[in-house]
Amino acid sequence: MFKQVTPNPILWTDGYKFLHKDQYPPNTTWVYETWTPRKSRIDGVTHAVWFGLQSAMMEIANQYQVGFFDRPLDVVMNEIETNFREIYSKTNPQMVENYDFSHFVALHKLGYLPIMVKSLPEGSFVPIGVPMMTIENTLPEFYWLPGFLEIVLSNSIWQPTTCATIADKYRRILSRYAKMTGVDTALVANQAGDFSMRGMAGPEAAYRAAGGHLLSFNVSSTISVREYLKTYYDAGPDVSVYGPSTEHSVMCAYGPDDEAGVYRRLITEVYPSGNVTIVSDSYDFWGVVENVLPQIKDEILARSGRVGIRPDSGDPVKILCGDINSDNRFARRGLVECLWDLFGGSVNTFGFKELDPHITAVYGDAITPERAEAICRGLMEKGFASTNWVPGIGSYTYQYMTRDTLGFALKCTAAIIDGKFTPIFKDPKTDTGNLKKSQLGQVAVVFENDEYRCIDGLRMIDSDYRVIGDQLQTLFKDGEFHRSQSWDSIKDRVRSESARVYGKRGGLS
């Protein structure tokens, strides 16, 4: 018998967060924290693409409603107290005995999250070191709540922002080579797709990563991202997913004896028209290039639609561009040149070859920005346009990163203690490169001289003073959303912001 579980979001935190309420100075009534990318570990990336807070706050608020506020007080408190006691009873039984759970009871009786969250517009390209959002409590007895929510906020928003930042780098690479090889850069939006779902750490990570990818591209194989973007960003129905694609279980089910027959059935009977991608390395990839494709050349050229030939193992740069050290004459030429030799194509006004539109190369195994650039460069050096291949960006990219890839942290920078406004900052002497140095006091973020800039050291909590032009605007307050952004507006902002930041650096956008 399966049990139906309604997660209690109070438990979505680190165990030590339960203890911080009593660790703050006595008579603390207000805590203010900022979320900041502190360092870029991505080569050539100086700005983080802000994305995911709106959806995260909606998910968190909804889970608090159904998993905490709407459930009986005795039920949720039993879950909280049982977990707390089981965690700490062996290491500190006296603390467990004296622990006061009344602040959770008070929150349940209140019935909403008494916090205010301010945010920059999503889609903004935020310089490393500039805060993207702030959080503070709105009722004095809940001073502990901003810090308590740190964990769930952090693990909900670092990933979509990091994925969006990396996706923009891919788009800039592909756009730059499209320009250099005479291809319309508008085609780049449909060139790279998201293949990452199977390698992600759960469904939520998959659709958040796919959302970040789709800010720069139009195609993902993660179907759940459609409902994610419709639900939280009012996206339309035109969020694309990949067309038909085979996998090894399908190809291997036929055995190795008649691969030409398998390919012919797929492109004439199963998918007689439209785009289809066929994984082609189940047995002998270069044997497919040499023996199978020539047998079905006429059927491919007669179809309405494009056939993608997908190698799925080996070194992607060598397989697509050629390996001069190989003993195989087809491997020496590389897949793209072999497809040109067999299917032909056209030469564009820049003098670069473009494959016949009925055929292309697809590669979705272990692609990285560095490999994508190497492939585009290798094709250009051989006289081919950069759009003669379709990169599938998978979990090697969108899972092979951490919160530290952009150095994200939510840190307290101000508090009210004994009725006094107290600026707080962190500046470890053992730190290198000021990675962990925080802002001081309240902050504003202004847009001046074509860039976002942080102003800290402010005290705005108890006055009408506000910084003119502050881009941090209220997103969520006391259980209600004060504004929302549409998917189209965020995507448009990403495109214009990328051009603003990187376009002035030698046409990288």
Q: What is the pLDDT along the chain (509 residues), one digit of tens a residue?
A: 667 778 999 999 998 899 999 999 999 999 999 999 999 999 999 999 999 999 999 999 999 999 999 999 999 999 999 999 998 888 888 888 999 999 999 999 999 999 999 999 999 999 999 999 999 999 999 999 999 999 999 999 999 999 999 999 999 999 999 999 999 999 999 999 999 989 999 999 999 999 999 999 999 999 999 999 999 999 988 777 677 899 999 999 999 999 999 999 999 999 999 999 999 999 999 999 999 999 999 999 999 999 999 998 999 999 999 999 999 999 999 999 999 999 999 999 999 999 999 999 999 888 999 999 999 999 999 999 999 999 999 998 999 899 999 999 999 999 999 999 999 987 777 766 666 677 999 999 999 999 999 999 999 887 767 888 999 999 999 999 999 999 999 999 999 999 999 986 544 44
The owner of tokens 């994925």 is 163
Q: Say if residues 477 and 117 touch (Cβ distance below 8 Å).
A: yes
Measured between alpha carbons, how far is 165 from 69 in angstroms, rounded to an integer?
35
Provide φ and ψ at 131, rounded to 5°.
Answer: -65, 145
Range list of H helices, 273-368? 285-287, 293-295, 297-302, 316-321, 329-333, 335-343
User: Which residues partner with 126 through β-bridges?
Assistant: 48
Q: Say if residues 404 and 205 touch (Cβ distance below 8 Å).
A: no
Measured between alpha carbons, how far is 354 from 306 in angstroms, rounded to an integer?
14
Burial of 209 (0-12, 13-18, 19+ CB in 10 A): buried
Measured between alpha carbons, how far is 266 from 244 in angstroms, rounded to an integer?
10
Instruction: Tell me the two tokens of residue 96.
Output: 């467990």
> What is the CATH architecture of 9-148+419-502?
Alpha-Beta Barrel (3.20)
Query: Minimal CA–CA distance to 238: which of 216, 218, 215, 217?
Result: 218
> At residue 63, what is the residue type?
Q
Instruction: Spell out the domain ranges in the chain.
Output: 9-148+419-502, 167-398
The owner of tokens 């490999």 is 371
Instruction: Tell me the two tokens of residue 67.
Output: 């998993």
Class of domain 167-398: alpha beta
The owner of tokens 């438990």 is 11
First-last CA distance in the chain: 55
| pLDDT tens column, 448-459 | 999 999 999 999
CA distances for 58 relative to 50, 53, 217, 479, 480, angstroms: 16, 8, 24, 10, 10
Measured between alpha carbons, how far is 144 from 134 in angstroms, rounded to an integer?
15
3-state class of 326 per DSSP? coil
Measured between alpha carbons, how far is 141 from 137 in angstroms, rounded to an integer?
9
Domains 9-148+419-502 and 167-398 agree in fold: no
